[in-house]
Amino acid sequence: MPKNNYRILAIDPGSTSTKIGIFDNDKCVFKENIIHTVEDLAPFKEISDQKEFRLNTILKVLEKNKIDIKTVEAFSGRGGSLECCKGGTYKINDLMYEHAKSMKIVKHPSALGIVLAKELGDLFGKPSFCVNPPDVDEFKIEARITGVPGIYRESRIHALNQKEIAIRYAQKIKSKYEDLNLIICHIGGGISIAAHNHGKMIDCNDIINGDGPMTPNRSGFIPAKPLVNMCFSGKYTEKEIKELINKNGGIMAHLGTNDMQVVGKMINDGDRKAKVIYDAMIYQIAKQVGAMYVALKGNCSAIILTGGIANDEYLVKNLTKYIKKIAKVVLMPGEYELEALAAGALRVLNKTEKSKEYTGIPVFKGI
């Protein structure tokens, strides 16, 4: 390719898929959502054991589509299972690779993005990057404190898409992300609602540990005492309680599905319970927006709705009724995670951003 043009392979592993994209600079020239069936993943006891399978699958897809991987000049993978760190683009070092591979902090397929990017980069002698992993933590100290000493609120959010949406919106209005105050609502299977204060996410609900609004498959905030009673009732195992919080709760627990299109049809068919539950989720999202408005001390340029469910007219219409007086509501539906992975790597390659070094030292260790 011509000098100063870069071909980047972005890798975004999920629970049952691996999304990949080939970008020539910021232009996507190939995209594929590789689906992994239950049968495909059944032989692997641990998520980390899927590495070779996913790696070979990526190579086969590129070969099938006549894309020479040797033309790729950088690899960028979604991250996870890292110590809490600053936002930005990281050149993947050995320590980041080992932390992601071990998955000691959080067991999630997204961590394989670091592993796959590093192995492909090493194999072909090219740099590998991780951009705004889920472990980005820019909370202000007040946002961390709880009423129980030693238990702190953590920043586990959709950092990759949150940051990319903020940057894109700033460019759209001919401004800089670092000059704006924004509330960004990522509304999908998980829902993260963050306060962005001049380029930093100073507060957000914790989507992993049961904070904020309920979602299609997560419980969100639950009053503590009733949950404690469930834990000691003898009716549930520890695994079942944790899965109720982070896998089988929310809309799934109430309605038996986490497909919001199905829920929409139920409402259109006159299902009163479905409407009450969906409206409750929208109400909880709106309350979290209000909390982030307070975190920004009432100074907010815009509220941006993103994520897959932001395509739903019912949600957008009814959520906007609650929040439109706080700030203007901007719709940027869908996800830009592959684009964000490529854009972060490109900024470093073009020397408009300096890559960060992962140290494994948490940005917050307690008080």
End-to-end CA distance of the chain: 51
Residue 135's alpha-carbon distances to 22, 111, 251, 296, in angstroms, are: 25, 10, 26, 22
How many folded domains does the chain comprise?
Answer: 2
Domain span holding position 181: 141-331
Token readout for 101 is 């591979």
- Shared-domain flag, residues 106 and 254: no
d(CA 85, CA 358): 8
| DSSP E strands, the chain | 7-13, 17-24, 27-35, 74-77, 89-91, 128-131, 181-187, 191-197, 200-204, 302-306, 329-331
- Shared-domain flag, residues 212 and 272: yes
Given this model, what pLDDT does residue 1 score?
44
> What b/e sequence results for 116-150 when a residue is b if at least 16 CB atoms lie within 10 Å of its CB, and e otherwise?
bbbbbbeeeebbbbbbbbbbbbbbeeebbeeeeee
Residue 112's alpha-carbon distances to 14, 88, 104, 115, 217, in angstroms, are: 9, 19, 13, 5, 22
- Shared-domain flag, residues 169 and 287: yes
* Residues with Cβ within 8 Å of residue 306, at least 6 apart in sequence: 161, 165, 184, 185, 186, 187, 332, 333, 334, 335, 336
> What single letter denotes the amino acid at residue 113?
G
253: in domain: yes
Instruction: Give the residue from 168, 73, 54, 178 showing the smallest Cα distance to 129.
Output: 73
Residue 176's CATH number: 3.30.420.40
Given this model, what pLDDT does residue 296 score?
98
- Shared-domain flag, residues 341 and 311: no
367: in domain: no
Given this model, what pLDDT does residue 2 score?
43
Token readout for 326 is 């706080």
158: in domain: yes
Q: Which residues pair with 303 in a beta bridge?
A: 183, 329
- Shared-domain flag, residues 152 and 49: no
Instruction: Compute the residue count for the chain.
Output: 367
DSSP code, position 215 = -
- Shared-domain flag, residues 20 and 100: yes
d(CA 15, CA 35): 10
63: in domain: yes
d(CA 179, CA 301): 10
Token readout for 154 is 């953590």
263: in domain: yes
- Shared-domain flag, residues 327 and 343: no
- Shared-domain flag, residues 41 and 88: yes
- Shared-domain flag, residues 132 and 145: no
> What single letter denotes the amino acid at residue 303?
I
- Shared-domain flag, residues 166 and 308: yes
- Shared-domain flag, residues 184 and 327: yes
Residues of the chain with pLDDT under 50: 1-2
- Shared-domain flag, residues 166 and 305: yes
Given this model, what pLDDT does residue 106 score?
84
194: in domain: yes
d(CA 152, CA 160): 22
360: in domain: no
280: in domain: yes
User: In terms of pTM, does the model score above 0.75?
Assistant: yes
